[in-house]
Amino acid sequence: MVKPRLIILIRHAQSEGNKNREIHQAIPDHRVKLTPEGWNQAYEAGRSLRKLLRADDTLHFFTSPYRRTRETTEGILATLTSDDDEPSPFKRSNITVHEEPRLREQDFGNFQPCSAEMERMWQERADYGHFFYRIPNGESAADAYDRVSGFNESLWRQFGDNDFASVCVLVTHGLMSRVFLMKWYHFTVEYFEDLRNVNHCEFLIMRKQEESGKYILENNLRTWSELRRERILQGKEKQVAPSPIEKTKSFVPTRRWGGCPNGCNHQSHYVRRDDLESLRQTDEKAAAAASFVCKPHSQTHSQTPSVSSLASRRPLGKRFQLAYGSDEDHDDEESGTGGSRPTPQIDVVRSHEEVKAMCDSILALKPDLVITEKGVSDLAQHYLVKANVTALRRVRKTDNNRIARATGATIVNRVDDLQESDVGTQCGLFEIEKIGDEYFTFLTKCENPKACTVLLRGPSKDVLNEIERNLQDAMGVARNVMFHPRLSPGGGATEMAVSVRLAQLAKGIEGVQQWPYKAVADALEVIPRTLVQNAGASPVRVLTDLRAKHAEGKTSWGINGDEGVIVDMHQYGVWEPQAIKLQSIKTAIESACLLLRVDDICSARKGAQPGQGGGGEE
């Protein structure tokens, strides 16, 4: 495996959305472009990257498909390959650039950043924790982590290519850079939520160690806890009393979200807003104006861009209820005949109550581990972790059945049917162990387990497949011997003994009836003949000697598959299950009888196609 010596993560340059959040009202997130300052940052990043690289380095770029990251990549490549000041050792034609959709920004849903609902969501996200909180119609950072995990696996496999570059550059977004490092270095959720966003075009450099081959992060990541400590120390040194204006302020610092809520000032937290009610009133007025301008079947198209974008994306009024109800509910409500529907907030509360009730039913039995074939929501994880209960999700049904047999648990389809007897108590130890680059869950020290797992490891997939086939064959042999404890000598000894006996019986039979005996006798000699040929010996000579041994009554003699000579299987130690021998001979005889019963073969012809002429009378 040829690993690159450097992996460099670069956050995109300053975009219009970083400078002005209201730009998202009219432009989708993936189409937001760079500002003039952002282009200068990208050009400067290319110059810095050029100083960092060696002249013999090869480059492989992975970039998010969003416009701001693609433009950042273009700006970096422009100055990296430029020959204006001095000839560049890097040529654009020799640099590979791939757009990787899994590196895209976290999906923040369909809300507008300036709306009251969006502000309420940021506050709720700050209280909940911005790693597990899933934005309505969007993603959580945990969802982005799943995407990046798949990309990491693909990237690791590409390292095995002999032509992979010596430097890998990822041009992505701030949150995705932190998620990438979290997956690579196994950060905890608490540490991830404490990390501050990286600056625009800041390099996060992962350098490979020559001895161990591991990647060391050269950057010191900035955290909010460190910033708070610095401010506390600065406050003690200055010992300045707060001004009256600051006393009258009522805001609560919360965790930052993935964008830049204060322009591009990365030293500030996102703050709570206490004017949500006024924002809601503003939203309702804007939505009402939008619906007034955009009447159904209207012939005018004079609405402003801001009004049309609000009318198409604001989560207010009937537009938001369409996501919860059908078209019939919408028509009844407009005609005044339909009943009132519960608000989306009530539906959310009800779903939260249902999840909590399910978790309470599980926790009432005081388990240590919960395993399910389906998913586990973020809210359910919160309740379970709070009770110090581990949950394993999306476990295959076959694995679930084995776990139930090993631990003595009972698989239950509904939490309402849970009983004390369904809890498995035969497992002594549950642990998670990392083997290579993968994490494995182990349930060990089980009392009288009725299932087990065999873990196979090998240098390649082909070797593993071969080991698995051999293991399956060995387990099958052991199973047959347990059910039918009788053995026969191997190395073709059994086949040769039957063949010699049939040949002797054929000599005592007259007429055509002796031919089936001779045919079966000749067919059984195929097994020892094949063993001799595989060993590279002379089949005629060796089979003649083996046939003479069996004629003397020494029926345990067979073929040594390594040297191609005849040996006594009792001393050589090669035995085969007698049940397998009997079944193979029976199957062969029955197949031959089936073919002999065939008198004729009727070939079916295709019928005439429609439209084709045919002769003869109708």
Establish if 499 belongs to a structural domain.
Answer: yes
What does the pLDDT read at residue 613? Answer: 52
CATH number at 116 reads 3.40.50.1240
Q: Are residues 567 and 421 in the same domain?
A: no
Which of these three, 208, 226, 244, is where a domain ends? 226
Establish if 455 belongs to a structural domain.
Answer: no
All residue ranges of the chain with pLDDT < 50 are 241, 243-270, 287-345, 614-618
Q: Of 136, 130, 250, which is closest to residue 196 (Cα–Cα)?
A: 130
Establish if 52 belongs to a structural domain.
Answer: yes
pLDDT digits (tens, 9 = 90+) for 6-55: 999 999 999 988 888 777 777 888 889 999 999 999 999 999 999 999 98
Q: Are residues 391 and 540 in the same domain?
A: no
Angle, helices 276-293/116-128, rounded to nearest 10 degrees: 140
Count Cβ atoms below 10 Å from residue 161 Cβ, excluding itself: 11
Domain count, the chain: 3
Q: Are residues 395 and 533 in the same domain?
A: no
Q: Are residues 494 and 438 in the same domain?
A: no
CATH number at 415 reads 3.50.7.10
Residue 592 lies in domain: 487-596
Q: Are residues 440 and 492 in the same domain?
A: no
Instruction: Name the token pair of 118.
Output: 């969006």
Q: Are residues 66 and 161 in the same domain?
A: yes
Q: Are residues 396 and 536 in the same domain?
A: no
Establish if 340 belongs to a structural domain.
Answer: no
Phi-psi region of 370 (alpha: psi -120 to 50; beta: other; left: phi over 0): beta
Count Cβ atoms below 10 Å from residue 244 Cβ, excluding itself: 7
CATH number at 559 reads 1.10.560.10
Count Cβ atoms below 10 Å from residue 501 Cβ, excluding itself: 15
Establish if 494 belongs to a structural domain.
Answer: yes
Which of these three, 210, 226, 242, is where a domain ends? 226
What does the pLDDT read at residue 13? Answer: 94
pLDDT digits (tens, 9 = 90+) for 376-422: 888 888 888 888 888 998 998 888 888 888 888 899 888 888 888 88
Establish if 279 belongs to a structural domain.
Answer: no
Establish if 283 belongs to a structural domain.
Answer: no
- Identify residue 210 by its one-letter amino acid code: E
In whole angstroms, what is the distance from residue 7 CA to residue 208 CA? 8
CA-angle at 68, arms to 62 and 71, nearest 5°: 70
What does the pLDDT read at residue 97? Answer: 92
Establish if 200 belongs to a structural domain.
Answer: yes
Q: Are residues 438 and 507 in the same domain?
A: no
In whole angstroms, what is the distance from residue 501 CA to residue 551 CA? 9
Q: Are residues 442 and 545 in the same domain?
A: no
What does the pLDDT read at residue 44? Answer: 94
Which of these three, 422, 446, 470, is where a domain ends? 446
Q: Are residues 555 and 418 in the same domain?
A: no
Is the pTM of the predicted complex or chain greater than 0.75? no
What one-character DSSP code corresponds to residue 134? P
Q: Are residues 154 and 34 in the same domain?
A: yes
Q: Are residues 98 and 202 in the same domain?
A: yes
